[in-house]
Structure 1
Amino acid sequence: MIQTPDKSYQINGIQQIGIGVKDLHQAWSWYRKAFSMDVPVFEDEATANLMTRYTNGIAESRHAVLALNMQGGGGFEIWQFTSRTPNSTNFEILPGDLGIYAVKIRVRDIQRAFKHLENQNAEILTEVAKTPNGMGSFFLKDPFDNIFQVVEDSSWFSENSSPTGGVLGVVIGVSDLEKSILLYRDILGFSVLNYQEEGAYSDIPGEKFTYKRALLAMPGKCNPGAFGALLCPAQIELIEVKERQGRHIFKDRLWGDLGFIHCCLDVNGMKDLKKKAGEAGYPFTVDSENSFDMGSASGHFGYLEDYDQTLIEFVETHRVPILQKWNLYLNLKKRDHKKNLPKLLVKLLALNRVKS
């Protein structure tokens, strides 16, 4: 039976995907040109003191920027170690390997997006094909060996000339589809099952193995929360490969090494979410407990591991800059967390845009 998430907390959408890179400025430059991730929410250099569980007990230093596409969708937290050289996998990451295999990018016009990304020297992995629920999509690899799925979508915050929007969702490799669904559907609020099936698929890159797939989506046309309208409803696709053993993408590597390091959900009611997840067998492994600072932004963050140890981050935002040049900040702790901020106020973030 499908359960609805506890009303004492709410999931407002995918806030960002953490991407470990070797050179933050090089990577962000490409992501601005390719995906219009050109509006920074924060840029910060600090030591990740609370993440030592995933960094071999050592508090590593890092440089990070959270950037958004103002047409709507989640952002990228582009993340570079400054205290060590990040490691890559020693194998080619394939569909069904355990962890975040690909990030879904929303687009209006799939053919326009295809031509645009070809012109940005992305490595195109598949031609445009239909997903099981009939949406046009294709896969590509960026210059840093990260894989993206570009997907048609109808949920948007605003419209400009960019061929792409922000993050629509993620493709996560799992070892047991049925067990993995329980966390994302019943605890994290991705309660709409767009499809669940098994077969060989032309829209997936690589060899034609048999896969079990489930696409879970957030309900409704607009999310709650201060920035819910900007984040737009998101999707999580779980994929299990049948004819080979899925390998752990971050096995023997650190959080912050190269690749997709976490999927971060924007939430309200963190303590109640922590309680509900723990009761379901998914305890928080990291919890900032009170407010943390990320340069000009602050909030409460926590992490849990899914059934295959993929890291899911949660952030309850307390303060966020709207116009940093004029020291205009919003204190979100004092407002009704079920309501969206006025659209005009959110659009002021675009005044912070960094041009390529």
Structure 2
Amino acid sequence: MTPLITAIQQVGIGVADAGEAWQWYRRVMGFDVPIFDDHAEAKLMIDYTGGEVHGRHAVMALNMAGGGGLEIWQFTSRTPEAVSFQPEPGDLGIFAVRIKAPDAGSAHKWLQKQAKTQVGPLSEFPDGPGFWGVDPYGNAFQIAEDSSWFGHTEQAVGGVAGVVIGVSDMDKAIAFYQTILNPCEVVYDKISVFEDLPTSVPNQRFRRVVVRKKVTAHGAFSKMLGNVNIELLQALDREPKKLFANRYWGDLGFIHVCFDTLDMDAMKKRLAENNYPLTVDSGGSFGMESAAGRFAYVEDPDGTLVELVEIHKLPILKKIGWYFNIEKRKDQRPLPNWMLRLLGLGRVKD
């Protein structure tokens, strides 16, 4: 099957103050290269914002060590709502973002020193050492070792390598994410009581699956974005709650996972053939400050929002109008490393 996805482009995080949150994520987690910093109305997302158009402030930032970015997203026309209960692993939606690290022990020491928030003990995950934590805004993160790297930063962590998603029917969820990520592989599938999971319910059984897509030489940004790990959790001993029930896309928490898409028309066709219709489609190129591309959304079997973005234009140095024009490229070969490193010219230092 022809690869239509490079990797995770970004994970959206709804916050109350985008400026404050970005400062924490760039200082502690190294997401200090802004791709866009945009104020606008989210007109195309009206079906997910109560039938009304709302204003927003969004910052997408990268960690130049490699991995996907974060889209830090704030309503400017309303006060965002928090989830009304304490999220637990297995609740339906994105429970945590996975941040990669070259060495879990070094990353653990760094986060304990810098984060000023909750950092759990070093543990053994299904695919290697790592640990859990919570950012100052109540969002869970998972730090795990990874083999795909682009560069190095002052922080002991890299960019986004995956997400942890709660599902109600594991087999349906696996089929959905395999349809999007193909080629990919299920590297772990087990039912057990997992000691590392940060749950308040003792002796709770889960079915835990890890779907992995390894980096390939397809797509302009594949060398930078790296591997994808989608960890799926199905709670077997309780009825899971939906994290965004009666709330809007853009409210507090993880609002979507976004995949870097190489051919939106082909992806749209593949999804439709498997009964996963797009719920939003910009149709043509859509601008986000100095960046542009076609974006779309599809829901997984539990309604978790998955964004797909086909990049058309990406700024290198906005002050002088210097861009990557991806839409005019004639092939899907990765951009050379020296060219990708130019993105670092826009780094914001605290």
Q: TM-score, normalized by length of structure 1?
A: 0.95
Q: Does 1:243 align with 2:255?
A: no
* Structure 1 residue 25 corresponds to structure 2 residue 19: yes
**1:210 and 2:205 aligned:** yes
Q: Which residue is 1:351 aligned to?
A: 345
- Does the 8 Å CA contact 1:224/1:337 hold for their aligned counterparts? no
The code of the aligned residue for 1:27 comes to A
Match of 1:91 in 2: 85
Cα root mean square deviation, aligned: 1.2
Report the equivalent of 2:174. 181
CA pair 268-67 structure 1, distance change in 2 beyond 3 A: same
Distance 2:70 2:89 in 1: 21
Give the Cα–Cα distance (whole angstroms) in 2 for the partners of residues 128 and 202 of structure 1.
12
- 1:278 deviates by 1.3
Moved more, 122-131 or 342-351: 122-131
Q: CA deviation at 1:34?
A: 1.4
CA deviation after TM superposition for structure 1 residue 125, in Å: 5.2
Given that residues 217 and 223 in structure 2 are in contact (C-alpha distance below 8 angstroms), is that contact kept between their aligned partners in structure 1?
yes
Q: Which amino acid aligns with 1:255?
A: W
* 2:298 counterpart SS class: strand
Letter in 2 for 1:307: P
**Aligned partners of 2:42 and 2:56 also within 8 Å:** yes
Residue 279 of structure 2 aligns to a residue whose secondary structure is strand
CA distance in 2, matches of 1:337, 1:176: 38
Q: Does 1:146 align with 2:143?
A: no
Aligned pairs, number: 348
Deviations 1:48-87 (CA, angstroms, capped at 9, x unpaired) = 0000010011110000110000000000000000000000
CA contact (8 A) 1:223 1:233 kept: no
Once structures 1 and 2 are overlaid, which stretch shifts more, 248-257 or 195-204? 195-204
Any idea what SS the aligned residue of 1:52 has?
helix
Q: Which amino acid aligns with 1:35?
A: M
The residue correspondences of 1:311-322 to structure 2 (distance < 5 A) are 311-322=305-316
CA distance in 1 between counterparts of 2:115 and 2:223 reads: 32
Gaps of 5+ in 2: none
Tell me the residue number matched to 1:293: 287
- Contact conserved, 1:190 with 1:235, CA < 8 A, in 2? no
- Provide, for residues 98-127 of structure 1, a one-character-per-residue CA deviation record: whole Å limited to 9, x for no partner: 000000000011111111111223433531
Which of these residues, 105, 116, 119, is aligned with residue 113 of structure 2? 119
Counterpart residue number, 2:227: 233
Alpha-carbon distance between aligned partners in 1 of 2:180 and 2:12, rounded to the nearest angstrom:
21
Say which of 313, 327, 332 aligns to 1:333: 327
Amino acid in structure 1 at the alignment position of 2:288: M
Deviation at 1:189, TM superposition (A): 2.2
Question: Is structure 2 residue 155 aligned with structure 1 residue 162?
Answer: yes
Find the aligned partners of 1:293 and 1:186 in 2 and give their Cα distance: 28
**1:16 and 1:263 in contact (8 A); partners too:** yes
CA contact (8 A) 1:125 1:205 kept: no
Q: Secondary structure at the match of 1:101?
A: strand
Question: Aligned pair 1:308/2:302, yes or no?
Answer: yes
SS at match of 2:78: coil
Does structure 1 residue 281 correspond to structure 2 residue 275?
A: yes
Aligned to 2:28: 34
SS of structure 2 residue aligned to 1:215: strand
Report runs of 4+ in structure 1 exceeding 6 Å deviation: none
8 Å contact 2:312–2:325 — kept in the other structure? yes
Report if the CA contact (8 A) 1:129-1:136 is conserved.
Answer: yes
Structure 1 contact 268–337 (Cα < 8 Å) conserved: no
* CA contact 2:217–2:333 (8 Å) conserved in 1: no
Structure 1: distance between partners of 2:126 and 2:339? 38
